[in-house]
A and B are shown apart, each in its own frame.
Chain A
Amino acid sequence: MLNALDKHLLETVADLHDIPQGAYNIRKNGEGISRRSTANIEIKPKTDKPGIDIIVRPGTMGESVHIPVILTAEGLKDAVYNTFDIGEGADILVVAGCGIHNPGESETQHNGIHNFIIRKRARLRYVEKHYGQGEGGGQKTLNPTTIIEMEEGAYAEMELVQIRGVDNTKRITKARLHRNAHLLVTERMLTHGEQKAESKILVKLVGEDSSTQIISRSVAQDNSQQLFYPRVAGYNRCRAHVQCDSIIMHQAKVRSVPEIAANHADAQLVHEAAIGKIAGEQLVKLMTLGLSESEAEETILQGFLK
């Protein structure tokens, strides 16, 4: 059922070598091709639009859900709506991710809209990797939208990674945090060639003692362009730290526009943003340890994006 190309894409975006353990749903070229629910995690297709509902029972501990998407045909426009309901006190890992292999000349596009409700005291780790490849000149476009509602005491780590080969991306991430909820977003992006990437993040801290940390690191190479809008708004006693770091190379362009907005006297919001070349002395240091200049560069970039 899965051919070698499918397996390569799955491995790249979801670290999967074969059909995963636990609950999963694999979507290929616009259709669900394989799915499994478990006693605690139910996956069912939506009836009104493409996509699935993933319902995690309260108290489910240490289980995982894999929902990778692969596209291997040209000219496809795939849109999918997934809704996650993570029950009270559950603690789970969700691995999403999309790999496109576009063999032809016309654009292949995937728009994934993910809605999360993370119930009281539930914990979620969410990993999403995006990757594109293909011989033809066809554009590979990925537009993920992630909307997160976090109830009291919920905790989530979102790891959003775009590795290589995605020509266009518009990423939107929105979250609303209630009392004592905590959200950590780490974003990693590498663009090259003529690629364009845009990421908008908006976190609203509405509950008392809610907090968020947004760590965005990116590398822009060749003629690629990146645009970041990380925003946090505090409406209560809350804390936020936004950190955007970009390494710029060649003729690339990077714009970073962080915004923090406090609507409460006890909101403590901090942002830092930096864009710069690889520091010359870092290169030299690694070269004094025997690496060539290009090996040194590769090592620095890999570490930075890890």
Chain B
Amino acid sequence: MLEIRNLSLTLEGEKGSVEILEDINLTLQNHKLYVFTGPNGGGKSSLAKVIMGIYRPTGGKIILDGEDITALGVTERSRLGIGYAFQQPPRFKGLKVRELIQIAAGNKPIEGCSCLADVGLCPEDYLDRDVDASLSGGELKRIEIATLLARNLKVAIYDEPEAGIDLWSFSRLRETFQELHNKYDTTLVLISHQERILSLADEIVLIAGGTIREQGSRDDMWPVIMDKSCGGRKICPGAGDENVECFR
């Protein structure tokens, strides 16, 4: 179980410090699938990065299975079983897919690993390719997801896993998440804007303007999310701002 208490994040931008996250409180249970959704720039990736330890929070606590991990770095959190698949994964000159997956898998042999097949990539075609500019965007993204699938995790966060992925691989990927969820105790977090990903959720967390606007079971949240007649006044980042008129 991962608990986030009164978490806030301020980053130094070009024009001084910006408040990115504000007073986030969230409990993520084992064996549950959460989808974080909300408008662009709302703070979803930032929250994921704070959980992974990539960003240091300005205030608040992060607790994993009762242990306060707020002060731990990325490596230590990873070794405790937290994983994050990047929204925009980096490329590496000279590192092979095989090597990257092997690092992810630790000392497990990657031979029997289905992680590439699970994202619709044929291991024979891809294991010996470099994770460099020669991969297409969708291929790179699927390999990124595979690096998380190769691991045994307590908390696995996938940042927009559907982005750039073709229709066929997407169906496969969706099944993979469903299967993971059925088989393992992992806390799964999918950051997504996609209805077909949202429909996998046990719980949906709506993040906008750096805070959690609403949270609840899929059934409770569905009408809120699907009401697209506007971005949702409640979540409209401009609400209350005189320059933005709402016609709802």
Contacts and interface: CB of A to CB of B under 8 A. Distances in A.
B104 interface: yes
A286 B92 CA distance: 11
A291 B54 contact: no
Contacts of B11: none
Interface string A41-62: 0000000000000000000000
Contacts of A305: 94
A285 B89 contact: yes
Contacts of B90: 279, 281-282, 285
B79 interface: yes
Given A291-B75, A292-B75, A293-B75, A286 B93 contact: no
B88 to A, nearest CB: 8
Nearest to B96: A303
Interface string B57-95: 000000000000000011100110001101001101111
Given A287-B74, A291-B103, A282 B92 contact: yes
A287 B94 contact: no
A182 B74 CA distance: 47
Given A288-B54, A292-B75, A305-B94, 17 more contacts: A279-B90, A282-B90, A284-B54, A284-B74, A286-B103, A287-B78, A288-B52, A289-B151, A290-B75, A290-B103, A290-B106, A300-B95, A303-B93, A303-B94, A303-B96, A303-B99, A304-B93
A299 interface: yes
B236 to A, nearest CB: 32
Contacts of A279: 90
Contacts of A300: 92, 95
A78 interface: no
A245 interface: yes
A291 to B, nearest CB: 6
16 contacts: A245-B93, A284-B54, A285-B86, A287-B73, A287-B74, A287-B75, A288-B83, A288-B84, A289-B151, A290-B75, A290-B79, A290-B103, A299-B95, A300-B95, A303-B94, A304-B93
Nearest to A293: B75
Contacts of A293: 75
Interface of B: 52, 54, 73-75, 78-79, 83-84, 86, 89-90, 92-96, 99-100, 103-104, 106, 147, 151
A289 B78 contact: yes
Nearest to A287: B74
Contacts of A285: 86, 89-90
A289 B104 contact: yes
A303 to B, nearest CB: 4
B103 A289 contact: yes
Chain A, interface SS category: helix
Contacts of B78: 287-290
Contact of B95 (A217, A281, A303): A303
Contacts of A292: 75
Interface in A62-82: none
B99 A289 contact: no
Contacts of B99: 299, 303
Q: Which of A217, A282, A290, A291 has the most CB of B within 10 A?
A: A290
A288 B74 contact: yes
A59 to B, nearest CB: 32
Nearest to A296: B75
Interface string A210-242: 000000010000000000000000000000000
A300 B130 CA distance: 12
A286 B90 CA distance: 10
Which 10 A-B pairs rank lowest in CB-CB distance, beginning with the nearest?
A303-B94, A303-B95, A287-B74, A281-B90, A290-B78, A304-B94, A289-B104, A282-B90, A287-B75, A306-B94
A161 to B, nearest CB: 13
Contacts of B96: 303
Contacts of B52: 288
Nearest to B150: A289
Contacts of A282: 90, 92
Nearest to B99: A303
A284 B52 CA distance: 10
Contacts of A302: 94
B110 to A, nearest CB: 13
Interface string A272-286: 000000010110111
Contacts of A281: 86, 90
Contacts of A290: 75, 78-79, 103-104, 106
Nearest to B93: A304
Contacts of A288: 52, 54, 74, 78, 83-84
B102 to A, nearest CB: 10
B245 to A, nearest CB: 39
A146 to B, nearest CB: 24
Nearest to A282: B90
Nearest to A281: B90
A281 B140 CA distance: 15
B92 A289 contact: no
A287 B53 CA distance: 10
A30 B79 CA distance: 53
